Amino acid sequence: MTSNAIEFYFDFSSPFGYFAATKIRAIGDEFGREVSWKPFMIGAALKVTGGMPLPMVPLKGDYSKKDMERTSRLWNVPYTQPEKFPISSQAPCRLIYWLQDVAPERQEEAILKLYQAYFVEGLDISSPEVAARVISSIKGSQDELVAVTQDENIKARLKDECELAIKKGVFGSPFIIVDDEPFWGSDRLEQVREWLKTGGF
C-alpha cells in the first residue's frame, strides 16, 4: 500500500459523513491507498465559516432530510433520523483518537459501530457512557473508556486535530483530501475515485 493515505475527515453527527464512511475503505482498497481516519468537531469549523448546523438552516434543513433518506436508499445504507439531532461528537472523537494509539487496526470497526449506534439504533453517542458502551466490545471496559473521554491528553489531542483540520481548509463532513486535493461531501466520492484513477484532472 502506498504511503499517500486518503485523509477522511468526518463528524459523528453528520449523516453524510456516516454514508461516506461506509464507502471510503472500498475506494482506498481499489487504488491501493490506506484511509487516514480523522474525526473532528464540525462546530469548530462553523465558528470560522459563520455557518449553522444543517438542520437549523431554513429551507435547506428541510431539504437535507429528504436528501439523507434518498442517499440511504440509493446506497443501501441503513439510516433512521435520530430523535436528538445534531449532537456533540466530543466523546466519540476522543475515543477514536485514543484507539488510534492503542489499537489502530480496530478504529474503522469502532467508527462504524458508533455511527450505526447513532444513525440506525438512535443511541445518544454524545454521552460518554453510551459511546463507551458501544465500543467496549472492541477495546477496554466501559469504565476505562469513560475515563478516556476525560483524559487531558486526549482532550488536547482532539483540540489540536480540529485546529489542524481548519488550517488544512476542512469545513464540512465528510471532507476528503487526496494528495493535497480537497473534496467536500459524500456526493464527491465519484470525483475522489476518478482523481485516484487518473492522477488528477
DSSP code at position 51: -
Nearest Cα residue to 98 out of 82, 88, 110, 87: 110
Domains present along the chain, CATH in parentheses: 2-198 (3.40.30.10)
- pLDDT bucket at 3, cuts 50 / 70 / 90: low
Nearest Cα to 197, choosing from 174, 178, 184? 178
Q: What is the pLDDT of residues 95-142, one digit of tens each?
A: 999 999 999 999 999 999 999 999 999 999 999 999 999 999 999 999
Cell of 179: 494528495
